[in-house]
Homo-oligomer: A and B are copies of this chain.
Amino acid sequence: MNRNASDVCEVYYVNEKHVAKARKVLSSDREILALAETFRNLGDPTRVKILQALTVEELCVCDLAKLLGVSESATSHQLRVLRSRRLVRFRKEGKMAFYSLDDEHIVTLMKEALRHVREGIA
């Protein structure tokens, strides 16, 4: 049978001090969820490309669609995901919508993640 955390574990070998210590540094559930959702929004190749592209300059949906090689509809959906976590913002100019990165944290996140990835020899 599968053991769960309530039988053997806590009595015989869990180090409660370590657990308590670790628990203190955890963010609130709300922040944890927000963090996870933010990372998940970043966790798609198409959206990574969008964000990398937007580090240069703002782009309209059509340019992005062309760059990514997907339909405008798909691009628009992805942009909505990114908007939901305030990773990008946009302004309307006539019929066009120009998207840009919402804040500098995003740039930092991307750069730091890229460093991590590149360290992996790969």
- Residue numbers of A with Cβ under 8 A of B are 2-5, 9-10, 13-15, 18-19, 21-23, 25-27, 29-45, 47-49, 52-57, 59-60, 62-63, 65-67, 69-73, 86, 96, 103, 105-106, 108-110, 112-120, 122
Q: How far is the CB of A75 from chain B (nearest CB, A)?
A: 9
CB closest chain-B residue, reference A18: B63
Decide yes or no: A19 and B116 within 8 Å by CB, A3-B72, A5-B72 being known contacts.
no
CB distance from A50 to the nearest CB of B (A): 9
Q: Which residue of B lies closest to A87 (CB)?
A: B116
What is the CA–CA distance of A9 and B95 in the complex, to the nearest angstrom? 14
How many subunits of this chain does the assembly comprise? 2
Decide if A110 touches B35 in the complex (CB within 8 Å): yes
Q: Which residues of B contact A39 (CB under 8 A)?
A: 39-40, 42-43, 48, 113
Query: Nearest B residue to A21 by beta-carbon distance?
Result: B56
Give 17 A-B pairs besides A22-B56, A38-B116 with Cβ atoms closer than 8 angstroms: A4-B71, A4-B72, A5-B65, A5-B72, A9-B65, A9-B66, A13-B62, A18-B57, A21-B56, A23-B67, A26-B49, A27-B52, A31-B117, A35-B110, A36-B44, A40-B44, A108-B108
